[in-house]
Homo-oligomer: A and B are copies of this chain.
Amino acid sequence: MSIIQLEDVLAARARIKRAVHKTPLMRSQKLSRMLGCRLYLKAEHLQKTGSFKARGAMHFLVNDPEPGEVYTTYSSGNHGQALSWAAEQTGKKAVIFMPEDASPAKVAAVKGYGGEVRYAGLSSIDRMNACLAFEEESGARVVPPFDHENIIAGQGTAMLEVLEDLPHFDVALVPTGGGGLLSGNSFVLKTLRKNAQIYACEPEVAADVKASLESGELKSIAYPATIADGLRNLRMGERNWAIIEEHVDGGLTCTEAGIRGAMRLYATYQKQFVEPSGACTLACLMENRDRFAGKTVVVYVSGGNIALPDYGRLVGEDEGQSG
């Protein structure tokens, strides 16, 4: 018996449909020609809050079996923004635990959606412990970033949209950190189109999912030095892995320079502003293009949240410089 059923994802879509965007599936003739395939981009950087995380966070809130007034999490990135937004939209309060050295841009984004920021140490363990202590003391509901059925079903709604717009394709490339997006979308794809393929995309310095798929065991990595800050976490969730192990065809990796190159391609040819984690899939396609020659490929662009000085630094330097 699977952790989620197709009915759960269909129900999630109905529950969040008015709150989130159906994002465009963009065709790119220029990039298709350049890469020798028929390329489509699932534009989740145009989702509410600038990433797919809005889907899962909103679904958790509107389908919580024990609804509360205060929701909290320990993820400082896109999930923290998404939860703050979802709480604001539904009349709830969000408390986001962030590291003491969090970037002013991320703090401002959370506050901009009405979230309350609390600082807790520097490590993710510090943050998680502070968040769980807050849950204990206040009764606030913790919204995990990926390892939860309602998050997985929420993220999976993206694939329902892809299949509506493009009923048949050969391959989907999905970025993976904790595995929320990949588990939900691989489950939907393999349930509805068992012959289509789906690959996990990661920076080569953060390839725990690829290693897990190749060994058949859930692997961890040490803190990776990647510019893709959304893909830095050390280990998938247990529920995510159970789904990914069964439904994902393999792992692809890319270099840091490849991620920067993909961000540049998005800006130059698509006029789209994409964060490093969102550009990882195109980088993996570029660095594995022979495998996908002539195929119809759906690349997930997972987010577009990056501070402008960081963006300028990553895309603005000479192409020859390292990532």
A residues touching B (Cβ–Cβ < 8 Å)?
45-46, 50, 264, 266-268, 270-274, 304, 308-309, 311-313, 315-318
Q: Which of A266, A268, A313, A315 has the most CB of B within 10 A?
A: A268
B304–A315 CB distance below 8 A: no
Please tell me which one of the listed residues B50, B264, B266, B309 contacts residue A317 in the complex, with CB atoms under 8 A apart.
B309
B304–A271 CB distance below 8 A: yes
Given A309-B316, A316-B312, A271-B268 contact (CB < 8 Å): no
Number of copies: 2
Q: Is the interface of A mostly helix, strand, loop or mixed?
A: helix
CA–CA, A268 and B49, complex, Å: 10
Which chain B residues lie closer than 8 Å to A50 at the CB level?
Answer: 271
Given contacts A267-B311, A309-B317, A313-B316, 17 further A-B contacts (CB under 8 A): A45-B271, A46-B271, A50-B271, A266-B273, A267-B273, A267-B308, A270-B273, A271-B272, A271-B304, A272-B272, A308-B316, A309-B316, A311-B312, A311-B315, A312-B315, A312-B316, A312-B317
Q: Which of A46, A266, A271, A313 has the most CB of B within 10 A?
A: A271
Please tell me which one of the listed residues B270, B308, B315 contacts residue A308 in the complex, with CB atoms under 8 A apart.
B315
CA–CA, A108 and B119, complex, Å: 48
Taking the closest CB of chain B, its distance from the CB of A139, in whole angstroms, is: 32
Taking the closest CB of chain B, its distance from the CB of A183, in whole angstroms, is: 25
Interchain Cβ contacts under 8 Å between A and B, 9 examples: A266-B273, A267-B273, A267-B308, A271-B274, A272-B272, A309-B316, A309-B317, A309-B318, A311-B316
Which chain B residues lie closer than 8 Å to A312 at the CB level?
Answer: 311-313, 315-317
Which chain B residues lie closer than 8 Å to A304 at the CB level?
Answer: 271
In the complex, the chain B residue whose C-beta lies closest to that of A308 is B315
In the complex, the chain B residue whose C-beta lies closest to that of A46 is B271
Taking the closest CB of chain B, its distance from the CB of A85, in whole angstroms, is: 11
Which chain B residues lie closer than 8 Å to A272 at the CB level?
Answer: 271-273
CA–CA, A316 and B312, complex, Å: 5
In the complex, the chain B residue whose C-beta lies closest to that of A264 is B308
